[in-house]
Amino acid sequence: MVTIISMLLFILVLGYLDSRLRWPKPNDKTPKYVSIAERSKTLRRD
């Protein structure tokens, strides 16, 4: 009984509370990693 109740609480209640936070979404595109050396090549000087 403890198992079933805790599963429901964790999945439904906590899942609902957590969904209201501003986490990134599963299908969000993560920024592609660009090395510092690569970035410095594209820097412009005034």
Partner 1 sequence: MLAGHFGLAAMVKAREPQVPLWSLMLAASLLDIVFLGTYAAGIEGFSSATGGGLGYGELHIDAPYSHSLVGALAISLLALIVAGVAWGRRNGLVIGFMVLSHWLLDVLVHRPDMPILPGNAGNLPLLGLGLWMVPWLSAFVELCLVLAGAYMYYHAAMRSAVRAERAEAKVGSAAAVAGGGYRQQAMLSSIVMFALLLGTLAANFFLGG
Q: Which residue's CB is nearer to partner 1, number 17 or number 37?
A: 17
How far is residue 22's CA from residue 32's CA, in Å, rounded to a whole number? Answer: 21
- The least distance separating partner 1 from the CB of residue 7, rounded to whole angstroms, comes to 5
Q: For residue 31, what are its two tokens?
A: 């920024």
Cβ 32 to partner 1 shortest distance, Å: 14
Residue numbers at the binding site for partner 1 (CB under 8 A):
2-4, 6-7, 9-28
Q: How far apart are CA 16 and CA 39, in angstroms?
A: 40
Q: How far is the CB of 40 from partner 1 (least distance, A)?
A: 26
